[in-house]
Amino acid sequence: MTSERAQYPSSNEVSQTGFPGEQQSLRLRGVSSPGSDQNYPQFNWRSTSEEEDEDEAEDENCEETREIRSRPMHMALKRALRQVQEMQVPVVSSGKSWKWRQAKSLRKLKNNSREFLYFFVLWRKSLQKIGGNFGGGVQSYFLFLRFLVVLNFFSFLLIAGFVLIPSIVFRSVGSSTGYSGLAGSQCMKYDPNPQGLIVFYKYLLDLLSGTGFMEYSYLFYGFYNNTMVESGNFSYNIPLAYLGTAAFYFAFCLICMIARMGSAFRVTVATGGSTAGNYSMMVFTGWDYSCLGDQATKLKQKNINYQLQVDLEEQRLKRRAAELTLGQKVLLYSLRVLMGVLSLGFIFAAFYGIALATDFSQQKSGQEGILGLIFEYLPSIAITAGNFVVPLLCDQLAKVEKYPPSNTVIVALLRSVFLRLMSLGILLYTLWSQITCEGDTDSATCKLCYYNHGDYPCWETRVGQEMYKLTLFDFLIHFAVLILVEFPRRMVVDNSSSKLAQWVGRQEFVVPSNVLVLVYGQTVVWAGALFCPLLPLINTVKFVFLFYFKKITLFYNCRPALKTFRSTKSNFFFLLVLLLGWGLALVVMIYSLSEIHPSFGCGPFRLFPSMWSVFPASFYRLPQTSQEFLFFIGSQAFLTPLFVLFIVGMCYFIALASVYGKSVALLREQQKREVRDKQFLVKQIEELKKLHPPIVNAAVYEG
């Protein structure tokens, strides 16, 4: 202790001179007396010695950085201290000094690269403006839309790299693969090319319906060949690449969704899913200190204001629900059950109408002209009408149910997702019942080709056309609603003083219904990607236009929502609903691969007994060593330990999430106790002041 004290100046010396002695080194000047620690923050400026290695130097640097951040001083002083700290070069050997400089340069390069890429984030300023004016709930919709745009674009790059470009390059070379048992039979007949002269408007009809020149193109399944290219050590199997890319496409989308769900779930665990946790995050970490300018500052203030409104409304409704009597609770729950039954009745009525429209459309598929186009779009019209009318009726029922805002969003999403996804399922079921003769392949219609070749010579392309029409019709509906409904409504409301116009008012941006539109559109793409490989590209363009449509509507045609909601749970729930759509599309793909016989006249699987048969056929072409390795991967000796390891990992992460949740709950209880203790101390101080009022010195007044 004496040796350590001898290294530093005494408190008297410091107080007399104002700085340490002349013989002191620079790193010792930051150390002052204990008395000075009460008023000024002190730091340890000592560099590492020659015996310390690079890891210890970095740890000390991180500790000093954290120490600076924890000190109660303004940002300018912290920045100056940080610059002084960076100017210090530790005294190390030449090799370690080089490593230290390289590590420092690498960290600086990473930070600069991250800041540079930040300016290229898609729609960054638009999303900031939306969040500031309309809150985090509406902003979560646009963030979700941006996620789907990026997901579809990278999915298209995947399909283009492994299927589209090789099919274009190898179209005129290579040999056919598969079994030719029915070559030359009636099942091979398929000629979608139009004959004779074509009227000009027919091209427009073909563009809208996916027939004619659109049908026999790279857009649909039927145009791809079953080509096998072999040249020396290079070989490329188009059918195997087609099916493998489809499987990897679904796996890629699943990984992206799970990764995004993990980040959203971490926020939910951190806040505990409660208003108190969300309020703490807003108070202590809500402000963005990188806001530059008055506009960005005002937008951030508005965003926090909206979040506080949501929390206050949640607390108000919870307090009102807690004050209900037993009879009022019974009446409320009875009304909720009755409204739930009525909403299910509306949904099943919509399903029945979609089934009738699809059946009638397939019967009238041979019609020409405008009437034929209407018949072809009849399933899309029925689905769109059901998805528009039924949610409106359910929203009226929700007013009677009186759920809190967050629960109202979840209930509306559950009803809408059931309606939209099952309506798509009803459409596909109706199509497949006609393609497979309702599962009876021994009937007269399906006995020859194992599917209804008379009405569906290339049934995969027909399913792809239906998905293409659903995607295109959804885009046209959004454009028509923007031009013909939303802008006229805004102009009438703003320029008319009638009571009806003021009662109708500007529309609100309802997040649940808009999110379900995105989920429905993405589910259509997943269900049709196997039969229409370029559908992800079409959906990317559609979602880009939809972003600007919704942004224009939001700022020019909508008013701020009367009831806002927190986006903490909603972000996770949006992805969970999207995962349900992915599951429905996965069922569609698995059933198509394994149960329905491929068309004999088109597509890369035309000569295979099933689409899945391309994997065994390609497997037996591999060398013996590769076959044995793949057999081992698929054996119980490999899969059983892998499954056990997966279960252990799942249990670990579940336990980890549970521990984190309990830790958050304990910390929240500790904060509540500390608040109560502080309130108790404040009351005690006030009581002491009342009992012992402060004595004012009369000399103060005399002076």
Whether the per-residue pLDDT at 104 is higher than 50: the answer is yes
The tokens describing 70, both together, are 């924890």
CA 233 to chain centre: 42
Higher pLDDT, 600 or 86: 600
Amino acid at residue number 453: H
pLDDT at 487: 87
Whether the per-residue pLDDT at 211 is higher than 90: the answer is no
**Whole-number Å distance between alpha carbons of 463 and 244:** 20
**Percent of the chain predicted with pLDDT > 70:** 75
If we measure between CA atoms, which residue out of 515, 559, 528, 410 comes closest to residue 465? 528
Whether the per-residue pLDDT at 55 is higher than 80: the answer is no
Determine if residue 319 is left, alpha or beta; phi over 0 gives left, psi from -120 to 50 gives alpha, anything else beta: alpha
Segment holding 269, helix H or strand E: helix 238-271
Whether the per-residue pLDDT at 543 is higher than 90: the answer is yes
The rounded mean pLDDT for the chain is: 76
**Least confident among 279-293, 417-431, 568-582:** 279-293
For the segment 616-642, what is each residue's pLDDT rounded down to a tens digit? 888 888 778 888 888 888 788 888 888
End-to-end alpha carbon distance in the chain: 50
Whether the per-residue pLDDT at 663 is higher than 70: the answer is yes
Going by their DSSP bridges, the two strands 558-559 and 507-508 should be labelled as parallel
The partner residues of 235 in beta bridges, in order of sequence, read 230
- The secondary structure of residue 185, as a DSSP letter, is S
Whether the per-residue pLDDT at 51 is higher than 50: the answer is no
Segment holding 507, helix H or strand E: strand 507-508
The tokens describing 539, both together, are 């959906």
DSSP reduced 3-state for 227: strand
| 363-371, Cβ contacts within 8 angstroms, sequence gap of 24 or more | 365/455, 369/205, 370/205
Residue with tokens 């390059």: 169
For the segment 482-525, what is each residue's pLDDT rounded down to a tens digit? 888 888 888 888 888 888 877 777 887 877 778 888 988 999 99
- For 267, other C-beta atoms within 10 Å of its C-beta total 17
pLDDT at 16: 40
CA angle 54, 58, 59 (to 5 degrees): 115
Q: Which residues of 506-539 are buried (b: 16+ CB within 10 A; e: fewer)?
A: eeebbbbbbbbbbbbbbbbbbbbbbbbbbbbbbb
Higher pLDDT, 164 or 97: 164
If we measure between CA atoms, which residue out of 663, 601, 512 comes closest to residue 221? 601
Q: In what order do the strands lie in the sheet with 175-176?
A: 175-176, 227-231, 234-237
**Least confident among 178-182, 210-214, 223-227, 314-318:** 178-182
**Least confident among 47-51, 274-278, 308-312:** 47-51
The partner residues of 227 in beta bridges, in order of sequence, read 176
pLDDT at 542: 94
pLDDT at 700: 45
**Whole-number Å distance between alpha carbons of 617 and 598:** 15
Higher pLDDT, 16 or 74: 74
Question: Rounded to 10 degrees, what is the CA torsion of 343, 345, 346, 352?
Answer: 150
**Whole-number Å distance between alpha carbons of 461 and 455:** 12
Q: How confident is the model at residue 158 (pLDDT cuts 50, 70, 90)?
A: very high
DSSP reduced 3-state for 235: strand
For the segment 355-397, what is each residue's pLDDT rounded down to a tens digit? 888 888 877 776 676 777 788 788 888 888 888 888 888 877 8
pLDDT at 564: 53
Describe the chain by its helix, strand, coil percentages, rounded to 5: 70, 0, 25
Whether the per-residue pLDDT at 207 is higher than 60: the answer is yes
If we measure between CA atoms, which residue out of 194, 188, 197 comes closest to residue 217? 194
pLDDT at 43: 41
For the segment 243-253, what is each residue's pLDDT rounded down to a tens digit? 999 999 999 99
pLDDT at 174: 56
Whether the per-residue pLDDT at 643 is higher than 50: the answer is yes
pLDDT at 17: 41
pLDDT at 178: 52
For residues 269-284, average pLDDT? 59
pLDDT at 532: 92
Check if the beta carbon of residue 145 is closer than 8 Å to that of residue 151.
no
For the segment 2-45, what is each residue's pLDDT rounded down to a tens digit? 444 444 444 444 344 443 343 333 333 333 333 333 333 444 44
pLDDT at 648: 93
Q: What is the pTM of this model?
A: 0.73
Half-sphere exposure of 521 (CA within 13 A, CB side): 30
Segment holding 339, helix H or strand E: helix 326-363
**Least confident among 55-64, 450-459, 551-560, 642-651:** 55-64
Segment holding 38, helix H or strand E: none
